Amino acid sequence: MGQQCVDCVREAGATVRRPVTVAGARLRDKPILVPLLIAVNVAGYVLTAVQAGNFGANFRSALFVDYSLIPFTVAGGQWWRLVTSGFLHIGVVHLVMNMLALWVIGRDLELLLGRGRFAAVYGLSLIGGSTAVFLLGGAEVPVAGASGAVYGLMGGIAVAALRLKVSLRPVITVIALNIVASVLIPGISLLGHIGGLILGAASTAALVYAPRERRTLVQAGALVGLLVVLVVVLFVRDASYGDLSCTGSGYELACG
């Protein structure tokens, strides 16, 4: 075997164009963010369950009450609930369903988009779902769950399939069944699902349809633009709440 100098090999490697996905991400063999997100969600559930002393009624914990999404409290200045509610779940069944969906859908989408882009789509979908609940949901109805973000990934995988010209039937079927379930099953936050679906589809479209010559600039601009729209909508809705205060003594729970 011949010998090669280290500097020559390094220089040659730097000039070779590495293959990338349609979104501009380097090809990788395993996801990192999806398992991490699942771990964070599971940790959130375990913490609330231990604090409540009940794994079936973890929503009674102070942590859940302080960090779930209740629109009137967000209007009162507790904006963190728009994000933290996406990492809380109501019972183990709710958690398992969302985490299975995240694992099945999220792995492929993370590999296609790349970690940074995937994180952006997930975050925008989560906030998009919370924004829909804040806009149109009951002022005193607590909502929690990763479904807004997961539905965003569903929308994202559908857009990616369209871009790659592969069959959309399995993806559309899964989305349709989940939306029907959201309508028919009591206690499910349809608003959060639809909001997440729209933002996930829009943000993924911006990533996979960006022109190759200006890909990074267009992608970043589109993602920032979507975030700005969400922030503006949130501030406008917040102003319309006025001096709303909680007058009810009890509340219902909605799974997101």
- The residues near 246 (Cβ < 8 Å, ≥ 6 apart) are 72, 73, 139, 140
For residue 192, give the nearest of 103, 132, 102 by alpha carbon.
132
- Dihedral, CA of residue 197, residue 202, residue 208 and residue 210, to nearest 10: -170
| The one catalytic residue among 85, 94, 125, 193 | 193
| The one catalytic residue among 61, 85, 125, 147 | 147
Is-catalytic flag, 182? no
For residue 133, give the nearest of 230, 28, 41, 218 by alpha carbon.
230
Q: Which residues of 34-53 are buried (b: 16+ CB within 10 A; e: fewer)?
A: beebbeebeebbeebbeebe
Q: Is residue 66 within 8 Å of 44, Cβ to Cβ?
A: no
The three-state secondary structure class of 245 is coil
Is-catalytic flag, 61? no
Q: Is residue 25 within 8 Å of 117, Cβ to Cβ?
A: yes
For residue 63, give the nearest of 77, 82, 50, 79 by alpha carbon.
50
**Which residues are part of the catalytic machinery?**
147, 193
